[in-house]
Amino acid sequence: MFVTAGTVADCKYGEKLIDGIDAEVLLADKGYDSSTFIEYAVIAGMQAVIPPKKNRLVQRKYDEYLYKFRHLVENAFLMLKRWRGIATRYAKNASSFLAAVHIRCIAIWANIL
């Protein structure tokens, strides 16, 4: 995980996020719908399950059934954002914000165990 500015496009750092991950399927939202990112995922041996943006000239097909499982990722972000300091980003600098996210993830993980 790493922190970027709020105005940076998701797909700009997508390759960095999946670099070194061994997975069969990559589930991502429309923010990661770019031809270069999808090519990178395919070269890495992943099936890209990313719905196409509406403004794409050629609409790609994607596995709609597998995409429905993406709600699990959204639920994880929901659990993180229940902590008000993360949802509103009270931290003044990126390292403090990242530390808060790590602490919240540890709390969530401890609750699961």
pLDDT score of 67 more than 90 = yes
Between 43 and 8, residue with greater pLDDT: 43
* Residue 83's pLDDT band (cuts 50, 70, 90): confident
* Residue 105's pLDDT band (cuts 50, 70, 90): very high
Lowest mean pLDDT among 18-32, 37-51, 87-101: 87-101
- The H or E element containing residue 50 is none
**pTM assigned to the model:** 0.76
Mean residue pLDDT of the chain comes to: 90
Between 6 and 85, residue with greater pLDDT: 85
Q: What is the pLDDT of residue 3?
A: 82
Vertex 4: Cα angle to 60 and 21 (nearest 5): 55
Q: How far apart are CA 71 and CA 9, in angstroms?
A: 21
Percent above pLDDT 90 for the chain = 56
Q: What is the mean pLDDT of residues 47-74?
A: 92
Nearest to 5 by CA among 76, 85, 97: 97
